[in-house]
Structure 1
Amino acid sequence: MTTFGLVHGGWLGAWTWDDVAASLRGAGHEAVAVDLPTEDGSATFETYADAVSRALEGYDDDVVIVGHSMGGHTIPLVAARRAVRHLVYLCALLPDVGRSLADQVATETDMLNPVWLSGLSEPDDQLRTRWVDRDIARRLICHDCDDATADGVLDRLRPQAALPNVAPFSLAEFPDVECTYVVCTEDQFVQPDWSRRVARERLGAQIVELPGGHSPLLSRPSAVVDVLLSL
């Protein structure tokens, strides 16, 4: 039995993994979806990794960690804290050693769809942003979900604090763990060409391509489960 640690993306929550987790459990595995303290203005990616590590205490080393979107900055930190068999980056942002996410956003102009900032509020007093343009949020996060699913996602979006973005990636190198990067070919948020390039350059990862947009865990969970069960 494999334990799958499921790490959500920015502005989202553990609920995004509900369908994937149910299918993994139905296949005889364990699934642990972790709610990250994304609304906490004092939390960093290290804080997020601590939360995931605590949630996985007591599980053996047959653990696969899956990070969606911004979760890609958390999962290598988890692998530096505990035994992990495999890391899966799902339409994910990838750290760059010695650099912050904010620096990447400023200089890697092919990483994100530039319209994303137009959909967000100004930061509040805890440097948290919220999605204020539902059309942009839907286009980027869940454009290929059916209307009911997309509305449910948009209704549950929550604030995302910016502090994790400003600290340089804290590891001197990526953990020596096998990696898979899942690219969705119509991803409207994280640009697929960027994903393919950096997954090879930074991780030497196996690349799996799926059709569809940025959140296949919501739009086509069975396809995500098939990838995970193949590892």
Structure 2
Amino acid sequence: MATFGLVHGAWHGAWCWERLIPELEALGHRAIAMDLPCDDSSATFDDYADVVCAAVTGVAGDLVLVGHSLAGQTIPLVAARRPVRRLVYLCAIPASPGQSLLQQLSDPDMLNPDYVKGLGAPDSQARTTWVDEDVLYHLVFGDCNRKTVSWASMRLRPQATIHYELPCSLSAYPIVDTTYVLCDGDRMVNPSWSRRVARDWLNAELVELPGDHSPFLSRPAELAAVLDRLA
């Protein structure tokens, strides 16, 4: 049995793992999800890592960290602080040691530029919020039914962006077994970019699933089976 630390991406919360957790538990594993302070403009990715570390403090055995999307910035910071059995980047944007996320976002191959059409103007705290459910559906939840998309969109939070300008505090990636799980129908993070990053940055095992950017909602049983194998 392994313990999975499930780390959500931008705008999301621990709620997004609700369909995956029972699938993992049915396979004999334990899962811990936490809410990152993504709506707090004073919080950095290192602060996000503090929250994850606090949530998994009592885990004495094998810990597998799963980071979705923007959580790719956070999970290597956790692995640099405490023992981790494996890092799993799920449709993720891994941190780049010494670089800021803003620098990474200048790569035109990384993200579908249409995502900005779904966001409102930043608020007074430089936080962005999804305002167009159709764009959200197309890019993030494309394999989910519209009832699920509406359910998820009501739970999304503002995402602070000020800390995107801060360089990653890592000087190198932590030495830990690493897997990158991409979805070949991901319309948010470019699968071709993900394949290159898994190979050239992370030296990671690559696993490909069908489907959209959010397999924890659209195909939780398939994702759980992959994670079970990685445990």
Deviation at 1:170, TM superposition (A): 0.8
Q: SS of the residue aligned with 2:195? A: helix
| Matched AA of 1:118 | K
* Aligned equivalents of 1:129, 1:46: Cα separation in 2: 20
Deviation at 1:27, TM superposition (A): 2.0
Deviations 1:41-63 (A, max 9, x none): 10011011000000001111400
Q: SS of the residue aligned with 2:19? A: helix
Q: 2:51: which partner in 1?
A: 51
* Aligned equivalents of 1:48, 1:34: Cα separation in 2: 10
Is this contact kept in 2: 1:141–1:214, CA < 8 A?
yes
Q: TM-score, normalised by structure 1?
A: 0.97
Q: 2:116: which partner in 1?
A: 117
Q: 1:102: which partner in 2?
A: 102
Deviation at 1:81, TM superposition (A): 1.1
Q: SS of the residue aligned with 2:192? A: helix
Pairs within 5 Å for 1:147-166: 147-166=146-165
User: Structure 1: any 5+ residue segments left out of the alignment?
Assistant: none
Q: TM-score, normalised by structure 2?
A: 0.97
Q: 1:221: which partner in 2?
A: 220
Deviation at 1:130, TM superposition (A): 0.5
Q: 2:185: which partner in 1?
A: 186
Pairs within 5 Å for 1:56-71: 56-71=56-71
* Aligned equivalents of 2:160, 2:172: Cα separation in 1: 25
Q: SS of the residue aligned with 2:178? A: strand
Is this contact kept in 2: 1:61–1:83, CA < 8 A?
no
Is this contact kept in 2: 1:182–1:209, CA < 8 A?
yes
Q: 1:195: which partner in 2?
A: 194
Is this contact kept in 2: 1:61–1:84, CA < 8 A?
no
Is this contact kept in 2: 1:91–1:190, CA < 8 A?
yes
Q: 2:167: which partner in 1?
A: 168
Q: SS of the residue aligned with 1:230? A: helix
* Aligned equivalents of 1:49, 1:164: Cα separation in 2: 14
Q: SS of the residue aligned with 1:203? A: coil
Q: 1:210: which partner in 2?
A: 209
Off by >4 Å, runs of 4+ in structure 1: none
Give the aligned length: 230
Deviation at 1:30, TM superposition (A): 1.1
| Identity of matched residues, % | 53
| Matched AA of 1:112 | L
Q: 2:4: which partner in 1?
A: 4
| Matched AA of 1:70 | L
CA root-mean-square deviation: 0.9
Deviation at 1:65, TM superposition (A): 0.2
